[in-house]
Amino acid sequence: MDDWLNKVNWPRDGLVAAIAQDADGGRVLTLAWMNRDALARTAETGEAHYWSRSRRKIWRKGEESGHVQKIKSIRLDCDNDAVLLEVEQTGGIACHTGRHSCFFQQLKNGEWVAMDPVLKDPRQIYRK
């Protein structure tokens, strides 16, 4: 029964935008992309899966870093073409820069200013 997947208004390129929001505190963490398979796996496994447009493959968020996003809820917008995930962010770090949120640059007097602290050195996150 994939009726719920058919309800999604998949665009021509097969990708919908997927927002992840921290269940703890409500910060918006990431904006990524999902194809049908990524959304299906996300619902099945309870962990966020996205489509990487650069690598052209599905990735499980945190598969390298350990910073998995555990799903609390999955929502769909009124146009059926954008997804909102409420997540428990493992490690409290969603960004590859080692910050809590990817949205750490804020516009201030005509400049983007990095606002949020680096919680963990990326070299520590991604070392093999």
Query: Which residues contact a second copy (rule: CB under 8 A)?
Result: 1, 3-4, 7, 17, 19, 21, 26, 28, 30-31, 43, 73-80, 82, 84, 95-97, 99, 102-107, 110-112, 115
Cβ-Cβ contacts under 8 Å for 94 (sequence gap 6 or more): 20, 22, 29, 30, 67, 69, 100, 101, 102
What is the nearest approach in angstroms of a second copy to the Cβ of residue 83? Answer: 8
- Closer to a second copy by Cβ: residue 68 or 95: 95
What is the nearest approach in angstroms of a second copy to the Cβ of residue 127? Answer: 19
- Closer to a second copy by Cβ: residue 68 or 71: 71
**Separation of alpha carbons 100 and 90, rounded Å:** 10
Burial (CB count <10 Å: 0-12, 13-18, 19+), residue 57: exposed
- Closer to a second copy by Cβ: residue 21 or 68: 21
**What is the CB-side half-sphere exposure of residue 107 using CA atoms within 13 A?**
1
What is the nearest approach in angstroms of a second copy to the Cβ of residue 91? Answer: 16
- In the three-class reduction of DSSP (H, G, I as helix; E, B as strand; rest coil), residue 7 is classed as helix
What is the nearest approach in angstroms of a second copy to the Cβ of residue 76? Answer: 4
